Homo-oligomer: A and B are copies of this chain.
């Protein structure tokens, strides 16, 4: 096995966090692009507080991090996390979600630019 082992308790915490369709999709999307909150609101057709709360959980666990860019707060995967390799290897099994970015762009709603 490559990479260090993840303590069972911490692994369970991360898996529970990713065991939600919205958060799992977010994290898969963040694996290839950065997004701001309002883009997620658009994509998931969910209220802004609901999206913020999902992102806060991911941030508290160190899975994602945020940077302010003007009035927007951009979220990205935290690749420095000691759990990143673990998360990564999960994401490899999931289907690409780039179609969601395409939809955003087609609607002229893309904001973050990497």
Taking chain A's interface residues, is the majority helix, strand, or loop, or is none over half, making it mixed?
helix
- For A4, the closest partner residue in chain B by CB is B93
Asked if A90 lies at the interface with its beta carbon under 8 angstroms from chain B, I say yes
- For A85, the closest partner residue in chain B by CB is B93
Asked if A74 lies at the interface with its beta carbon under 8 angstroms from chain B, I say no
Most chain B C-beta atoms within 10 Å of own C-beta, residue among A3, A8, A20, A85: A8
The docked-state distance in angstroms from the alpha carbon of A93 to that of B8 is 9
- Number of A positions contacting B (CB below 8 A): 30
Q: Write out the residue numbers on chain B whose beta carbons fall within 8 Å of the beta carbon of A94.
A: 5-6, 8, 11
| Min CB–CB distance A69 → chain B (angstroms) | 28
Q: Which of A65-114 contact B (CB under 8 A)?
A: 85-86, 89-90, 92-95, 97
Can you list 19 A-B contacts with CB-CB less than 8 angstroms, sorted by A residue number?
A5-B94, A6-B94, A6-B95, A8-B94, A8-B95, A11-B24, A11-B90, A11-B94, A12-B18, A12-B20, A13-B19, A15-B16, A15-B18, A17-B19, A85-B93, A86-B90, A89-B90, A89-B93, A90-B90
